[in-house]
Structures are given as structure tokens and as C-alpha cells.
Copies of this chain bind each other. A is one copy, B any other.
Amino acid sequence: MQRPSLRIAASQMTDAQRELEPLTPKTLVDQAVEAIIQAAATGVFLPGDRVIEAEVARRLNVSRVPIREALRLLESQGILVNVPYRGMRLMEVDAGRLRKILEVRLALETFAAFKLQEMCKTDPATIAPLDRICADLVAAAKRGDTYGIATLDTKFHRTLCTLTGNEVLVATWEPLSSQLTIIFGLATLQIDMESIAREHSDLADLIRSGRRSALEANLRLHILDSPQSIDFDALIERRKASAGRKKR
């Protein structure tokens, strides 16, 4: 699960250190985890749905064992809820839970942003990667690439954590990110892409500026309030309706 972050670190190596990547083998468990998250994000599974081992196994053409391990992993990330002998369900989400997730995420990223602010004082180049992502974000907004926007948005915030050099922070942040991915799914199209790009640039500038309380306030606004503006409950209802399933 922390492997993606390692890959990011690798892509940031200087030429002197550049080597062939270690390329760790992907086991079925890893693939299953990805597949399940993706399925949840694209609405194949809906919040509250049961996730049946045998069914997943059959659809992915593997046995139940690796699936079980993948499900356990997702359980401990809060994405699935397990009751012994009664099976796994995708997490139930409502506006309240969304807010709780966002609040925790805010706490983590505020810490990260403050830390980066400190690091910038000695070396302003620290946050160069954030600027790069902001540039990509602007480009994606220009060409109306909603998928790109969503990906880069997540990447920005992950990088925010990564740059602190605290792997524990990244590892702690990751499950929250996964949960949000699943909750929002493809809902990103609802929002104004230009403003997304601008908000991130502002954040990067504020980190650079060294103004602590302004950064804090802005981050709070960016994380907590922006997503709240979309009509969440309606979104959930719409997704449920579009699938039109009853197997609860």
C-alpha cells in the first residue's frame, strides 16, 4: 500500500542516483486490492453493498484466498466493514461520515503544510514538485480533462505529505484518500476545474509565503468546505438509483 509512494520517490531521484527500479512482483492480492478499489470508485459496488468473496473471486478469475486477504486489507483501511460469518460490506457513507474523514485529513495535511513551510525557510526548492503538479493541473483544466484533474488533485495532496519526509504520515493519509476516492467516484465532473487549479496554486504560494494562519485557514476552506458544496446526499441517491439494485 505504501508502494506507490516509493515509486514517486524514485521518480524524483537525481540523475546520479538513477537506476533500474527494483520492480517488486505484483501478487494477486495487490491486484485484487486495486481492482476492488477501482470497482468501488466506478460504482460497480455502491456504499453499503455486500462484497461477496466468491463472487469477486469468480469475476477476477482467482481463488478466494487472495481475495480474502485483499478484503482484510481494505477492512483495516476502513473501506470495508466485516462481521464474522456474515461477510463484508462496502462502508456506509453519508454527509456526516464524509465530514469526519475530511476533518482527519485536514488535521494531517495542516501538519504537513506547516512542516513544509518550515522546510521552505531553509530551502525554498523543497516544494518544487508541488509547483510542477500545479502547472499540470492548469494544463488539464485548459483541455477539460476531468480525469486528469481528479488524479492530479489527489497527487498534489499526497505529495504534500510525501515531501515532509515522514512516511508514517503518508501511510496514515493513504486510507483516507482511498475512502474519498470511493465516495466521490466520478463526481469530479460537477466542479469548476479552473477554480480547482487556482486553489492548489494558492496553497503552494501560501506555503512559500510563510504566513502560518493564512495557510491554515485556506487549507481548511479547500479541504472542508469545497467538497461540502456539492449536494452529497443527492449524489448518493443518484448513484444508487442508476444501479437500481436491491441486494442489501
- In the bound complex, residues from chain B placing their C-beta under 8 Å from that of A176 are 168, 172
Contact B84 A27 (CB under 8 A): yes
Is there an interface contact between B25 and A166, defined as CB atoms closer than 8 Å?
Answer: no
Q: Among A10-18, A54-62, A101-109, A184-192, which stretch is in contact with chain B?
A: A101-109
Residues of B within 8 A of A73 (CB): 72-73, 75-76
State the oligomeric state as a number of copies.
Answer: 2
Enumerate chain B residues within 8 angstroms of A159, measured Cβ to Cβ.
none
Q: Are A104 and B100 in contact (CB under 8 A)?
A: no
Residue of B nearest to A2 (CB): B78
Nearest B residue to A22, CB-CB: B83
Q: Would you call B100 and A111 a contact (CB within 8 A)?
A: no
For the residues of A in contact with B, the DSSP-based class is helix
**Smallest CB-CB separation from A111: which chain B residue?**
B107
CA distance A167 to B29 in the complex (A): 27
Residues of B within 8 A of A27 (CB): 84
- A49 interface residue per 8 A CB criterion: no
A172-205 CB contacts (< 8 Å) to partner B: 172, 175-176
Sorting the interface of chain A by its residue count into under 10, 10 to 19, 20 to 34 or 35 or more gives: 35 or more
Least Cβ–Cβ distance between A51 and chain B, in angstroms:
15
Residues of B within 8 A of A100 (CB): 166-169
Chain B contacts for A108, CB-based, 8 A: 104, 107-108
* Residues on the B chain within 8 Å of A83, using CB: 24
Shortest beta-carbon distance, A47 to chain B, in Å? 15
Contact A77 B76 (CB under 8 A): yes
Evaluate contact between A25 and B65: CB separation under 8 angstroms: no
Whether, in the assembled complex, A97 has its beta carbon less than 8 Å from a beta carbon of chain B, the answer is: yes
Contact with B along A153-178 (1 / 0, CB 8 A): 00000000000001111011001100
A97: which B residues are within 8 A, CB to CB? Answer: 168
CB of A69 closer than 8 Å to a CB of B: yes
Top 8 closest pairs, chain A to chain B, by CB: A107-B111, A100-B168, A100-B166, A69-B72, A25-B84, A76-B76, A73-B76, A27-B84
- Measuring CB to CB, which residues of chain A are less than 8 angstroms from any residue of chain B? 1-2, 24-27, 29-30, 65, 68-69, 72-73, 75-78, 83-85, 97, 100-101, 103-104, 106-108, 110-111, 166-169, 171-172, 175-176
26 A-B pairs, CB-CB below 8 angstroms?
A: A1-B75, A24-B84, A25-B84, A25-B85, A30-B84, A65-B68, A69-B69, A72-B73, A73-B76, A76-B77, A100-B167, A100-B168, A100-B169, A101-B168, A103-B111, A103-B166, A103-B168, A103-B169, A104-B108, A104-B111, A104-B169, A106-B111, A107-B110, A107-B111, A168-B176, A172-B176
